[in-house]
Chains A and B, each alone.
Chain A
Amino acid sequence: MNVTIVDYKSGNISSVINSFKEVAQNKIKIDVTSDVSKIKSTDKVVLPGQGSFKSCVDALQSINGLVDCLNDFVMNKKKPLLGICVGLQMFADVGYEELETKGLGWIPGKVTKIDNQNGKYKLPHIGWNQINLVKKSKIFKDIKDKSHMYFVHSYEFVPTDKSSISATTEYSSKHVCAVEKENIFGTQFHPEKSDKTGLKIINNFINL
């Protein structure tokens, strides 16, 4: 089996690569590429994302055929994909960071700035926060409710269809921190930086 981490030159993906290689050891091949032909034939895709919603979408689109390839992978082939941080946010129809920007539209909803209640809450939301598991999700197998995960973000994904929400966290208000919709998985937090619990989530995804 092959797991492919999409390297679309947006932000730092070293930690994502290191964590997947740590979990996979040498049993599962972890590829890191933006080569569309390789992504097409892989079994699972990881879509990381750092920086702004707009910069990530722009970077995806700058690689010829990549968005079409991901759409086909997810919507037609129905193969598993894990989005991390802005990788998850891009599932939305639209994001409002910098400029209104169209997302991939895989899970209806929008990405807006966390309400910091006039400065009462610092942004970015940085650090370890507990997640509330709100539905059974394959990537949360053996993960306890209220586990701590590492977050760093100022924007949140607000899906229209609440049934895709698999976990929430509380900061200023309750917001979505993980989604699962059929073969599409996403975490707002960083499993690659969330110590042993995070590695377990990565392991669950690899072993889907």
Chain B
Amino acid sequence: MSQAPLLQVEHLKKYYSMKTGLFSRAAGVVKAVDDISFQLESGQTIGIVGESGCGKSTMGKTILRLIEPTAGKVLLDGEDFTALQGDALKRARRKMKLIFQDPYASLNPRMTVRDIIGENIDIDRTYSTRQEREDRIAEVMEQTGLNLDYMDRYPHEFSGGQRQRIGIARAIVLPPRLIICDEPVSALDVSIQAKIINLLKALQRDMGLSYIFISHDLSVVKHISDRVGVMYLGHMMELADKRSLYANPMNPYTQALISAVPKLPGETVREKIALSGDVPSPANPPSGCCFHTRCPHAMPICAQEQPELKQVGEDHFCACHLCKACAAAS
């Protein structure tokens, strides 16, 4: 590909300092996102999976600069998004939108659907006449499967699935290039979840959108993504083309994660890899590889040295001391 990718994330870091005591002495840092890099091509979807507290949502917000990154760069269309200020930042932000997990908390309860969707237009002053604004709102409502009669209703009058559609309509009213979807279907029932996923896929096809799809549900991520990254305690453990990742997971954490999903009959049942213990606290992460305390294959080196993300196959990257392919690549 001659063209630069739509989004390049380079060594993105977000550290929070912990304060303690009366004079707020620094007591340490929480590395919520630690050295994450990946690229996203236009029209593609990258899925980010991981358990709670692994930093996947923080990463999404840091890319958008809703949270300022501690270090690292985000390049959007080749432009350094992290260095932008003022009007330039506002303009660049038009290209990136966010859809939230909780459709109950992410819509202003005192605004009508018309105003929730139209707010973007008002801020951006895209259309000069009222009629154009109204037409555009009606257009996206139709596109996202919302009944036009509901335009003047308030969010509490809608079900969870419909609210998520309002959230999506709001995100696409000024067509963005990239939408960061932060657990958009986790709060929904399976049959509603299927409808929202189909809608997201249809919009991607029609508008050429790119998605960063953050979720803890491995089967949903597999369905919607082209590439998948697995995060654990702020680190990217494995990043690969989805077929390669699910068919041939290299990192012991990915293997355990995939094996832990309750399967339906007819699905390939791998041997269950039982992980003992809980995810360590990000405030007090283990030395070396962050996963070594729960890893069934941990070796002495794992406690000392942090493995780097290395290429182990065509579009397959893995951070693990153990994996033979990693060793061969180094």
Query: Is B a genuine binding partner of A?
Result: no
